[in-house]
């Protein structure tokens, strides 16, 4: 009985799972939970997770069985596993692998167990795609492959796509043994494993799916290796122009591809070449909300054998819609976190594919593939000059007032003194706040207002050590290669975005010389709505096994810090 009381999990019948962090085996349990559930919230030492159809099917795709999941919930559960919870898990997991797509003589077919197919007949949204029926196999409208997968996922029926892929345009490309900088190069063991799981040689299941690796662990290298393995014309979609350049530099450095074979499709460039790198913004550009998307034709301008979706969690709706129509092209998603705040994770699963490989951040840290990051939340009181204004403000205005609290500035200065000489990023959401801080610190500011050329100059100066402090807006959330950044100070963010928190910490994760350490600070205004959003933002990192040290500074301590900053 004593052992039961010390177990960390409480499983509810509605598939919510409570993890009591104060129990001895909490961390051990958390490492298992992330395989088949998502974090929802935390309150004190209690963390709430949710088991969903999608988390179960991604687990099944990774080889986790129903008995594995039930066994873990029983092993760490404080009470008997509710019958309703076990029944629902068995029902949802039992559907995985029971429906699949295939092609025969150019025709598309849906196969499945007769009982499952019988359930589908009640759904007119599915039956509208069916052109002929027989036991266990239905002929489908040829063009419905993506839309059908989306609808089945929405209805709670996972489907395995065995319909195969067309080869695409051939491309001669090989990985180098040495980079152009004359450094030895080879894939790390986990990068090779990720490529193999995506490719799945000798099977029809390979060729679509998502690889999840921590920031700094080499997602781009995995994408490049998959490209070389397939040796087909490839379209790479990424988040910004800086990332386009980084992809091109890495392709030239680590493969046999030459400059004329790599096209950049962003800004004023419109190069369509055997390997073409474009931004999501370019793909979704249109003259007005009623106009066609000007550059979406890029999907069909060459016979692509592979499409790589960098930062796949950012996929905008128009790209989802186009992807639904190109299911015969191999698709690889790359991300550090599949968290989407808009609830579109189902579309990533159905249209790009399931998770093929997922490395935990702490696993990467233990292997020294990424830096060890210390996370600290510093709570400061609202500046006395803002208290009356805050009390009278609307809910949305309250959040901004808390985010732009002038009381945060002395803390930033104190942290800069503590980490003097270390490459530091100061990150924020609100431009007025960032401009004021830039002036006060005499530090350069990088925002969306800065031209691409100026951005690159700032990045290069930071890398070269000519700039030790760089202030950045949310433009630096994604795909910015600043490997030497060792300290990040977060002033404000996009509400409760878990994904943004993870990406910002990710700016620090490239391995460091010496003790391989980095520091992340988030400064939050105490006793305001900002503290609630901060708790939500931290969920993904907590799920990955990180802890935030919390420091609270009362008014009198802030005054001491402020005096020291003068």
- Cβ proximity of 348 and 312 under 8 Å: yes
Q: Specify the pLDDT at position 345.
A: 81
Digit-coded pLDDT (tens) for 328-356: 999 999 998 887 767 678 889 999 999 98
Give the percent of the chain with pLDDT over 90. Answer: 59
2 has pLDDT over 80: no
pLDDT greater than 60 at residue 565: no
Report helix, strand or coil for 162.
Answer: coil
Residue 132 has pLDDT above 80, yes or no: yes
Nearest by Cα to 292 from 331, 323, 322, 326: 322
- Per-residue pLDDT of 56-72, as tens digits, reads 999 998 889 999 999 99
User: What is the pLDDT, as a whole number, of residue 5?
Assistant: 82
Residues 234-238, mean pLDDT to the nearest whole number? 95
Q: Across residues 209-227, what is the average pLDDT?
A: 94
Please name the CATH architecture into which domain 365-565 falls. 3-Layer(aba) Sandwich (3.40)
Question: Which residue in 555, 546, 547, 486 sits closest to 516, CA to CA?
Answer: 486
Supply the pLDDT for residue 436.
Answer: 93
**Taking the model in full, what pTM does it have?**
0.90
Q: Which pLDDT band holds residue 305 (cuts at 50, 70, 90)?
A: very high
Average pLDDT over residues 109-126: 94
* 8 A C-beta contact, residue 501 and residue 493: yes
Cα(321)–Cα(63) distance, integer angstroms: 29
Q: Is the pLDDT of residue 204 over 60?
A: no
- DSSP letter assigned to residue 517: E
pLDDT band at 131 (very low <50, low <70, confident <90, very high): very high
Q: What is the mean pLDDT of the chain?
A: 89
**Tens-digit pLDDT profile for residues 26-36:** 888 888 888 89
Residue 43 scores a pLDDT above 90: no
Enter the CATH code of domain 189-359: 3.40.50.300
- Residue 267: the pLDDT is 84
Q: How far apart are the C-alpha atoms of 458 and 454, rounded to whole Å?
A: 6
Q: What is the pLDDT of residue 110?
A: 96
Output phi, psi for 514, to 5 deg: 85, -125
Q: Which of 117, 56, 114 minimizes the C-alpha distance to 88?
A: 56
Write out the residue limits of the CATH 3.40.50.300 domain(s) in the chain.
189-359, 365-565
Distance CA 231, CA 233 (A): 7
Q: Quote the CA–CA distance of 474 and 95 in Å, as a whole number.
A: 41
In this structure, what DSSP letter does residue 317 have?
H
86 or 38: whose pLDDT is higher?
A: 86
- Starting at the edge strand that comes first in sequence, how are the strands of the sheet with 9-11 ordered? 9-11, 16-20, 46-50, 38-43
**Which residues lie closer than 8 Å to 221 by C-beta, 6 or more apart?**
187, 191, 250, 254
pLDDT one-digit tens code per residue, 425-483 = 999 999 999 999 999 999 999 888 888 788 888 888 888 889 999 999 887 666 566 77
Q: What is the pLDDT of residues 493-532, one digit of tens each?
A: 887 788 888 889 988 998 888 889 999 999 999 999 899 8
């Amino acid at each position: 009985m004593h052992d039961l009381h010390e177990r960390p999990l409480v499983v509810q019948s509605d598939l919510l799972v409570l993890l009591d962090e104060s129990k001895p085996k909490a961390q051990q349990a958390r490492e298992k939970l992330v395989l088949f559930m998502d974090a929802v919230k935390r309150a004190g030492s209690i963390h709430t997770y949710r088991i969903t159809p999608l988390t179960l099917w991604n687990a099944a795709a990774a080889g986790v069985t129903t008995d594995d999941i039930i066994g873990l919930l029983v092993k760490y559960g404080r009470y008997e596993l509710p019958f309703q919870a076990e029944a629902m898990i068995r029902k949802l997991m039992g559907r995985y692998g029971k429906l699949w797509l295939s092609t025969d003589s150019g025709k598309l077919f849906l196969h499945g167990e007769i009982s499952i197919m019988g359930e589908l007949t009640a759904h007119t949204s599915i039956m509208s795609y069916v052109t002929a029926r027989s036991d266990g196999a239905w002929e489908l409208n040829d063009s419905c492959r993506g839309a059908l997968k989306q609808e089945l996922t929405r209805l709670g029926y996972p489907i395995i796509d065995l319909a195969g892929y067309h080869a695409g345009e051939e491309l001669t490309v090989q990985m180098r043994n040495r980079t152009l900088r004359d450094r030895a190069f080879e894939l790390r063991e986990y990068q090779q494993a990720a490529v193999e799981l995506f490719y799945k040689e000798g099977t029809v299941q390979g060729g679509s799916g998502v690889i999840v690796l921590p920031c700094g662990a080499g997602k781009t290298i995995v994408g490049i290796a998959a490209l070389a393995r397939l040796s087909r014309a490839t379209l790479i979609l990424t988040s910004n122009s800086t990332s386009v350049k980084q992809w091109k530099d890495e392709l030239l450095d680590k493969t046999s591809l030459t400059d004329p074979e790599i096209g950049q499709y962003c800004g004023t460039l419109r190069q369509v070449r055997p390997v073409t790198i474009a931004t999501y913004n370019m793909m979704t550009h249109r003259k007005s909300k009623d106009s066609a998307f000007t550059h979406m034709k890029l999907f069909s301008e060459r016979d692509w054998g592979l499409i790589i979706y960098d930062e796949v969690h950012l996929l905008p709706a128009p790209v989802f819609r186009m992807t639904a129509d190109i299911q015969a092209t191999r698709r690889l998603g790359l991300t550090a976190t599949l968290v989407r705040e808009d609830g579109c994770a189902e579309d990533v699963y159905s249209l790009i594919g399931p998770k093929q490989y997922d490395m935990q951040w702490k696993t990467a840290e233990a292997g020294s593939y990424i830096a060890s990051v210390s996370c600290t939340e510093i709570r400061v009181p609202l500046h006395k000059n803002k208290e009356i204004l805050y009390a009278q403000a609307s809910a949305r205005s309250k959040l901004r007032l808390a985010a732009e609290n002038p009381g945060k500035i002395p803390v930033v200065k104190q942290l800069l003194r503590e980490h003097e000489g270390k490459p530091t990023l100061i990150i924020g959401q609100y431009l007025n706040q960032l401009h004021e801080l830039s002036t006060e610190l005499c530090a350069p500011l990088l925002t969306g207002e800065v031209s691409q050329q100026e951005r690159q100059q700032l990045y290069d100066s930071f890398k070269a050590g000519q700039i030790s402090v760089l202030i950045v807006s949310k433009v630096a959330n994604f795909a910015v290669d600043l490997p030497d950044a060792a300290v990040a100070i977060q002033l404000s963010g996009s509400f409760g975005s878990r994904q943004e928190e993870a990406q910002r910490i990710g700016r620090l994760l490239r391995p460091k010389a010496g003790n391989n350490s980095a520091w992340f600070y988030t400064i939050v205004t105490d006793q305001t709505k900002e503290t609630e959003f901060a708790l939500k933002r931290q969920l993904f990192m907590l799920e990955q096994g990180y802890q935030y040290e919390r420091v609270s500074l009362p008014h009198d301590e802030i005054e001491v810090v402020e005096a020291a900053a003068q």
